[in-house]
Structures are given as C-alpha cells and as structure tokens.
Copies of this chain bind each other. A is one copy, B any other.
Amino acid sequence: MPHLTLEYTANLGLDADAALLALNHALAGSGLFEEADIKSRAVPLHSFRSGTAATPRAFAHARLALMPGRDAASKRHLADALLAALSAQVSSPGLETQLCVELQEIEADCYAKEYRHG
C-alpha cells in the first residue's frame, strides 16, 4: 500500500506516464508513505458515458486505496494534493470535465504481501 488507480476518458489530453509520476510525487511528498510502497497505474477509458445528454464530456478519476489509521486532516490534505497534481496534468478544451479523487481505506487484517528484491 498505497495503491493508486487513475482512470481517464480517452478524449482528454493526458500523458499517462507524466501524470503517474506527478501523482506519485504528491503521495511521496505527503510523508505518509514509503516511496517504494507506492504502486500506481493509469487506465484509459475507451468506452464511457457521462450522463444521458449529448454534450461532449470527459472525466478522470483517481482512487487511492490505503491502510486505515490516518487522521481525517491528513486524508483531506492528501485528497487535495492529488487533485491539484491531477488537475495540472489534464488538458480538456471544449469538454465539460470532472476530475475526482477518492480515498478508500482497506481492511488491514485481510492484506497479504510478498516482497522480492530484484
């Protein structure tokens, strides 16, 4: 932990590798995580729909799964830092766009892990 998943609609201007690096820097900069523990992936969405209207729309959604135990202020700060990092990476001219960040605590006692040193 933590695990970050960035989904983004394929009509957005977004460099996925640059976005992941920026998000990981925001996570590492929070001081809440070990640098090497951060595991992030970006997933382009080719089939998507926002609402029912014909308006051109787009969205990007970053979900962070983390161990429980952080206080509310730290989590609030983290969500805001991730949203700022994401916002700086997304170009969406002419599109109604929603950027979202969600934090989700996992159940710590149901987590198993193996490290391999390369």
Contact = CB atoms under 8 A, between A and B. Distances in A.
Contacts of A72: 109
Interface residues of A, number: 69
A32 interface: no
B113 A94 contact: no
A89 interface: no
Nearest to A42: B47
B104 A116 contact: no
B16 A110 contact: no
Interface of A: 1, 3, 7, 9, 16-17, 20-21, 24-25, 28, 35-45, 47-53, 55-57, 59, 61, 65, 72, 75-76, 79-80, 82-83, 87, 92-107, 109-118
